[in-house]
Amino acid sequence: MTQETGGFAALDLNPNIVAAVLATGYEEPSAIQQQSIPIILAGHDMIGQAQTGTGKTAAFALPILNKIDVSKREPQALILAPTRELALQVATAFETYAKQMPGVNVVAVYGGAPMGPQLRAIRNGAQIVVATPGRLCDHLRRDEKVLSTVQYLVLDEADEMLKLGFMDDLEVIFDAIPASRQTVLFSATLPSSIRSIAERHLREPKHVKIQSKTQTVTAIEQAHLMVHADQKIPAVLRLLEVEEFDALIAFVRTKQATLDLAAALEAKGYKAAALNGDIAQNQRERVIDSLKDGRLDIVVATDVAARGLDVPRITHVFNVDMPYDPESYVHRIGRTGRAGRDGRALLLVTPRERRMLQVIERVTGQKVAEARLPNAQAVLDARIKKLTSSLAPLVAEAEATHGELFDRLTTDLGCSARALAAALLRKATNGQALDLAAVEREQPLVPSFTPRGERTERGERGERPERGDRERRAPMPLAEGRVRCRTALGARDGIAAKNLLGAILNEGGLARDAIGRIQVRDSFSLVELPEDGLEKLLSKLKDTRVAGKQLKLRRYRED
């Protein structure tokens, strides 16, 4: 079945939506998508019984995007989710699938973030609202007409919403949106309470039921590591120091991420290459052939580029970015452990992705053990082991073939044999740090998250850190010509990196490439700006507001 004549294109979806879906790595719709999308496109109410991880988010997101009228700047679709984490996940999925639909705006509405920016986003024309019931009811108390234009309602994981006590909130929301709406309900189970909701609020619903059959290969050793999103590349570099691999594939979500990580690996001396949808087929085949014959050891790929990739020498899979669903995870780790060989799969998990990790474990029926990032001592031991292994085959004949040269060099240089050997080692290792203090200095701090009571990589107790400890983790090294600036706005203010970037671009008049890394912490954020003309730029930005609050950027003086 080709992409032109089958797959998602056969479901009568907007070609721009199909293109965005294919860009994420999906080629064929899952069972829940095949059955649900035609029903929703036809305008029927629907009850979908499916486990998380069967692809149900796309099952309702794709047809709803197909129905959205981009010319209307008003809420048209409301998706209710039981938790903040799921709401963010669903909102991100909508944004991903709408990448080639200019004018589509999505807002995530949940507790723990300022209400003002959320309500303004709805009033300013977000066509898709993804919300938790409790926070949405807070907004309805401020403006009872805010949802009066909603035409499509989705209840995602309805059974979980009822378990969390949202029944009364749901009734308030049902009353606040037009009765003529189309309603879709997804639930893993259908207890009497869910059936009661369906009877009262859905009109002659169609029924779809899907069983998840995902299983993983038991020969693959799986582990996960908790890291911050902006520390993934340092974490990968540190892991590669200690992991003994033959060939490795690292999965990321975006084309740009393949290029960034591959460049970082090459800079460290690894034989690595990127593999993404923009790479021509003949070049893609050359990359795979190079991985097979040993000219390459690491490939950094998106899901779509790695479809069908079968290289027996792949011993490791790094999931640098979390996959969109458990099926993708199973497909990824299946690239190793082939031809009867053992394999190892590592998954980097950010704090906001904990829930998806739990979903993967539940759907696959396998525990993904927690691992720790190697400390400086482990890195040093691994380096010395590699050096020893590389020298061992040479030692037997070295004195016979190079003994006289060694004697001459010690005489010509007027140094001891030990000094000459040390100099040659330094040259052979390209100045790589091979003592503990030096390794500790060069290793960037990569925070890991530990359950209460366990030990962190610093050897301290794994108690919940004070905010100051979390905030003081080391910033990334600065690029030449840039300085780091600080604002008191952070994640707790509902700030994301894209908000800061947009404000600085709009008000500061800078080109995009003039702005470096943006790091959003809990109670503040750091932004890298050009040193040349900094004071003039900060003066321009002095009255700039983000999420309703003053930006107040100041040059950051590091201790």
pLDDT for 212 equals: 58
476-555 CATH: 3.30.70.330
Instruction: Work out the percent of the chain whose per-residue pLDDT is above 90.
Output: 35
Asked if CATH classification 3.40.50.300 holds for the domain at 7-209, the reply, yes or no, is yes
Burial 93-110 (b: 16+ CB within 10 A, else e): bbbbbbeebeebbbbbbb
The count of other CB atoms within 10 Å of the CB of residue 459 is 7
DSSP code string of 216-275:
--TTEEEEEEE--GGGHHHHHHHHHHH---SEEEEE-SSHHHHHHHHHHHHHTT--EEEE
Confidence of residue 384 (pLDDT cuts 50, 70, 90): confident
pLDDT for 5 equals: 38
* Among candidate residues 128, 107, 102, 127, the one with its CA nearest the CA of residue 14: 102
Element (H, E) at 503: helix 497-508
For tokens 């039981």, the residue is 82
Exposure of 458 by Cβ count < 10 A (0-12 exposed, 13-18 middle, 19+ buried)? exposed
Confidence of residue 85 (pLDDT cuts 50, 70, 90): confident
pLDDT for 340 equals: 58
DSSP class of 276: -
The count of other CB atoms within 10 Å of the CB of residue 308 is 7
* 509/72: higher pLDDT: 72
The count of other CB atoms within 10 Å of the CB of residue 468 is 8
pLDDT tens digits, one per residue of 147-162: 999 999 999 988 888 8
Residues contacting 204, CB < 8 A, separation 6+? 44, 45
* 182/327: higher pLDDT: 182
Which residues are paired to 250 by β-bridges? Answer: 300, 318
The whole-angstrom separation of Cα 101 and Cα 98 is: 5
Query: 232-242 and 255-267 helices cross at what angle (nearest 10)?
Result: 50
Please state, rounded to an integer, the average pLDDT across all residues of the chain.
83
**Strand 482-487 versus strand 525-530 pairing type:** antiparallel
Domain layout of the chain by residue ranges: 7-209, 220-370, 376-442, 476-555
According to CATH, the topology of domain 220-370 is Rossmann fold (3.40.50)
pLDDT tens digits, one per residue of 306-340: 666 778 899 999 999 998 777 778 878 888 876 55
Classified as helix, coil or strand, 129 is strand
Exposure of 215 by Cβ count < 10 A (0-12 exposed, 13-18 middle, 19+ buried)? exposed
Which of 457-466, 509-518, 522-531 has the weakest average pLDDT? 457-466
Please name the residue ranges forming H helices in 13-109. 15-23, 31-41, 56-67, 84-97
For tokens 């129905």, the residue is 67
Amino acid at 536: K
pLDDT tens digits, one per residue of 7-32: 888 888 999 999 998 887 777 888 88
Q: Enter the pTM of the model.
A: 0.51
pLDDT for 217 equals: 60
